[in-house]
Amino acid sequence: MYRPTYAVINKDILKENIKEIKKTYPSYEYYIGVVKNDAYHHGIKIVNELIKGGINYLAVSSLDEAILVRKINKNIPILCLEVISLDYLDLIIKNKITITVESLSYLKKLVNQDVNDLITIHFAVDSGMHRLGFSKEEELTKAYMLIKESKNLYLEGIYSHFATSGIQDIYYDYQVKRFLKITKNIYLEDIPIVHLGRSLTLVSHEKLNFCNGIRLGIVMYGFNQSRKINSKYQLLKIKRIQKKYHLSKTTLENNLKVKPSFALYSSVMSRRKIKKGEFVGYGANIVNESGYIYTICIGYADGVDKNFKYVLINKQKCLIIADCMDMLLVFSQNKYEVGSKVEIFGENRSIFEVLKTLNINAYHLFNQISNRVPRIYESKGDKNGF
């Protein structure tokens, strides 16, 4: 790492987050850590920390991601949430990947493959999102029967995915009902893992009695999406909607204390004096006061642009005047040294404040911090290592 721009991921916080989630919501058997997209851009290396914290299953998007995870951990079960082409069955078997079966036609092709090994599968059910999964009970029933007759397929799980929180909308309840309707001819209680919810579901609803698994994404990375109630009026409004549409019981605020573990830093590459009225950067942005322009080694190719509004040098705000692909030009009247550390977000500017400024959610922010920014891993005992 030769460029002084890096993200710091605190492994202890990640581990503590999982422990806190399990302590607050102890009634699930399977805590499935969603580590797609390079563990929400925290870096896939963190999987073993998540496992140490209590994650006992992992979920990824693709076979490529699954193989990367398998290199890091030989034993943890890994569910691939996307449909994998059966051309890669040898890799699925070799890497012990649990696959998603979402249609009868795919299952029929799978059944006709000439394999001697056991393939573990989870059925996906489309309970309303119209993204992936069985949406008709007849098809799911046929699929269930096919599996029962197959020697090489092990139906370990069944899952669905929620579109909303269900706090002020009818869709969560609708999806639960749809799921139960689609699965009414199969024995859910005979399927070892039933998992419908994600982070938002965890903090918004009690565990459904037929579920024993929960998929944890953004909550593991430190974001408690529970609905914050700011006023009596807001609460009344929610209660009125819940009563009107007979919505199932929801949890509004909770005591779950999870923390983000991701901070982002860079450095001052250059400093120059600037006079009021001179211009700076692409588009010739006029400076309103005399002071200094600092060139920072981070730009929109790293995921940081003008919309961040300011960065911190020596904990002091410096306004972003212009952005480039690889650099930011920031202004301050204070004099700082070349090489000074720059905080984009971390201990002095919270990630929550950045999200508010950018008006985006944490999923998008993490995704935005590109992979060219090296991730440094920190924990109390060991700095920068695994």
Ligand X SMILES: Cc1ncc(COP(=O)(O)O)c(C=O)c1O
Under the binding rule (CB under 6 A), the answer on residue 198 touching ligand X is yes
- Is 179 or 300 the residue whose CB approaches ligand X more closely? 179
Under the binding rule (CB under 6 A), the answer on residue 218 touching ligand X is yes
- Is 40 or 265 the residue whose CB approaches ligand X more closely? 40
Under the binding rule (CB under 6 A), the answer on residue 349 touching ligand X is no
Nearest residue to 279 via CA among 288, 271, 270: 288
Pick from 33, 128, 133, 217 the residue near ligand X by CB under 6 A: 217
Q: Least distance in Å: CB of 212 to ligand X?
A: 16
Q: Least distance in Å: CB of 378 to ligand X?
A: 23
Q: Least distance in Å: CB of 174 to ligand X?
A: 18
Under the binding rule (CB under 6 A), the answer on residue 34 touching ligand X is yes
Q: What is the rounded distance in angstroms from the CA atom of residue 166 to the CA atom of residue 116?
A: 44
248: tokens are 């199932």
Q: Least distance in Å: CB of 180 to ligand X?
A: 19
Q: What is the rounded distance in angstroms from the CA atom of residue 216 to the CA atom of residue 38?
A: 15
Q: Which residues of 108-118 are buried (b: 16+ CB within 10 A; e: fewer)?
A: eebeeeeeeee
CB–CB of 126/133 below 8 Å?
yes
293: tokens are 């322009």
Under the binding rule (CB under 6 A), the answer on residue 200 touching ligand X is yes
Other residues' Cβ atoms within 10 Å of the Cβ of residue 337: 9
Q: Give the CA angle between residues 129, 135, 141 to the nearest 5°.
A: 150
CB–CB of 244/7 below 8 Å?
no
Q: Least distance in Å: CB of 239 to ligand X?
A: 25
Helix (H, G, I), strand (E, B) or coil at 330: strand
Residues that bind ligand X (rule: CB under 6 A) add up to a total of: 11
Under the binding rule (CB under 6 A), the answer on residue 79 touching ligand X is no
* Residue 247, phi then psi, degrees to nearest 5: -75, 150
Pick from 17, 183, 199, 224 the residue near ligand X by CB under 6 A: 199
Under the binding rule (CB under 6 A), the answer on residue 166 touching ligand X is no
State the sign of the Cα–Cα–Cα–Cα dihedral 266, 267, 270, 274. Answer: positive
Q: Least distance in Å: CB of 223 to ligand X?
A: 8
Point out which span in 90-98, 133-141, 198-206, 302-310 binds ligand X (CB under 6 A). Answer: 198-206
Pick from 63, 81, 158, 298 the residue near ligand X by CB under 6 A: 81
Q: Which residues bind ligand X (CB under 6 A)?
A: 34, 81, 161, 198-200, 215-219
